Structure 1
């Protein structure tokens, strides 16, 4: 099979995007998805996303981790998919799409800066040393010192499996910046390594920092290894509403690849 693909990145979080509106892609082929995401023998990406038709929205988002397995919501992937839909002419500057966690809306400007509405977060679990919440995907948020030297892969894997079992959770390590906002590094389940950025993780970190009273800001800049993202929100009882994730989503290249699987 000769497969046409598009490669997008959002603050270094990169994805293989495929227009699957004709439903040709073998969605249960875990080996194929994994091989396409392989950085040595395939295209290389943190995940693969299918854009499909949807009866109630502009399009549907089907997301796979780089291990080939279907996964939960991906914030940066969602933002990249909105930019992709604009490229395909499906939308202009506004979008609605369905994902595993429900319906999302978004706006995109001429520079492909995408503002994505995330799901409301009704509950936040506060523990002595960390915060746990679900922003479309499960996230552990923990403050650390000297984040730049921190061993994210080792400590992230330890918590991902040791604290949360096989199903796991994404693990975020956060440090307040001297200037503004927070720096964040994320270990992603399914990738089983640190990624340059994680949209749902950045969203979780912003809400966690507010919930734990580290900051009283409701418009927060987070610095990832791949660039800056902005999270805005409103407090709603014990949770949060009107949560938005904003940042760049860029086409890197497009091409064709021969798939043997």
Structure 2
């Protein structure tokens, strides 16, 4: 079987995107997705995104980690899916609505080419603040640690230890974010991602979790533009939000998306 694919990345977080609106992709073959993501024997990617029909939105986004397991929401993947949906002509507008495993999302393709993704609202009582870290779910579960000298952190070694800790075993593991605050509204973030089992160049839901954790613990404030700037190994991103009535609402992740190449592969 010949399968067409498209490769995108959002600040270095890269994805193979497949148009599955005709339901021709063998979704039950998780080993196939792992092979496609393999950087030596496949196409190479942090994950697989399937674009499927949806009864109430422009499309449904289904996400798989690079190990072939179906996963929770992916922020940069969502931004790439928005760009791909525009390329397919699924929506003629610059504002696109879609569903994912965690619910409804919307996205905006801005005039400057940046793509903003609206993430789920977060209840404040669901943010768990501990002496050494913060835990919250921004569509995917995240463990956030505030550190110094982030460049010196062994993200794989330390991240893997936390990701597989017994306290997270019932949750299927956790993503681990190391955060250094270098200014009032500037964060540097490095993330160990479960399912990839490695450090990725950028993690959208992890960056968002890091910003909210920093704000909730009083480590940053909000500027007039209400944007927090984040530096990752793969590039620059921005997060904005509103805190109202014990909720974080109107959470937007904004950054660049690049179409890399398209091709076909026999499976």
TM bucket normalised to smaller = over 0.9
Rounded Cα–Cα distance in structure 2 between residues aligned with 1:61 and 1:257: 21
Given the superposition, is the C-alpha separation of residues 112 and 26 from structure 1 closer, same or farther in structure 2, using an over 3 Å criterion?
farther
- 1:181 equivalent in alignment to 2:186: yes
Instruction: Tell me, yes or no, if the aligned pair for 1:221 and 1:229 is still in contact at 8 Å.
Output: yes
Given the superposition, is the C-alpha separation of residues 145 and 137 from structure 1 closer, same or farther in structure 2, using an over 3 Å criterion?
same
Rounded Cα–Cα distance in structure 2 between residues aligned with 1:165 and 1:18: 31
Given the superposition, is the C-alpha separation of residues 164 and 62 from structure 1 closer, same or farther in structure 2, using an over 3 Å criterion?
same
Q: Write out per-residue CA displacement over residues 189-238 of structure 1, whole angstroms, 9 at most, x where no aligned residue.
A: 00011000000000000100000000121421110100011000011244
Equivalent residue, structure 2, for 1:118 = 119
Q: Could you list the structure 1 runs, at least 4 aligned residues long, displaced by more than 4 angstroms after superposition.
A: none
Rounded Cα–Cα distance in structure 1 between residues aligned with 2:200 and 2:102: 22
TM-score, normalising length from structure 2? 0.94
Rounded Cα–Cα distance in structure 2 between residues aligned with 1:109 and 1:164: 38
Q: State which of 114, 129, 138 in structure 2 corresponds to 1:135.
A: 138
TM-score, normalising length from structure 1? 0.96
Rounded Cα–Cα distance in structure 2 between residues aligned with 1:149 and 1:178: 19
- 1:108 equivalent in alignment to 2:109: yes
Instruction: Tell me, yes or no, if the aligned pair for 2:185 and 2:221 is still in contact at 8 Å.
Output: no
Instruction: Tell me, yes or no, if the aligned pair for 2:191 and 2:206 is still in contact at 8 Å.
Output: yes
Given the superposition, is the C-alpha separation of residues 10 and 105 from structure 1 closer, same or farther in structure 2, using an over 3 Å criterion?
same
Equivalent residue, structure 1, for 2:19 = 19
Rounded Cα–Cα distance in structure 2 between residues aligned with 1:179 and 1:207: 14
Equivalent residue, structure 2, for 1:95 = 96
Q: State which of 245, 250, 258 in structure 1 corresponds to 2:258.
A: 250
Q: Secondary structure at the match of 1:165?
A: helix
Offset, 1:179: 7.7
Q: Write out per-residue CA displacement over residues 26-62 of structure 1, whole angstroms, 9 at most, x where no aligned residue.
A: 1111100000000000000000000011010000000
Instruction: Tell me, yes or no, if the aligned pair for 1:112 and 1:250 is still in contact at 8 Å.
Output: no
Within a 5 Å distance, the mapping from 1:218-237 to structure 2 comes to: 218-237=226-245
Rounded Cα–Cα distance in structure 1 between residues aligned with 2:103 and 2:175: 20
Instruction: Tell me, yes or no, if the aligned pair for 1:124 and 1:238 is still in contact at 8 Å.
Output: no
Offset, 1:180: 4.8
Q: Write out per-residue CA displacement over residues 97-141 of structure 1, whole angstroms, 9 at most, x where no aligned residue.
A: 000000101111355411110000112111111111000000011
Q: Secondary structure at the match of 1:82?
A: helix
Rounded Cα–Cα distance in structure 1 between residues aligned with 2:11 and 2:55: 31
- 1:74 equivalent in alignment to 2:87: no
- 1:155 equivalent in alignment to 2:163: no
Instruction: Tell me, yes or no, if the aligned pair for 2:177 and 2:191 is still in contact at 8 Å.
Output: yes
Cα RMSD (Å)? 1.2
Given the superposition, is the C-alpha separation of residues 156 and 181 from structure 1 closer, same or farther in structure 2, using an over 3 Å criterion?
same
What 5-or-longer segments of structure 2 have no aligned partner? none
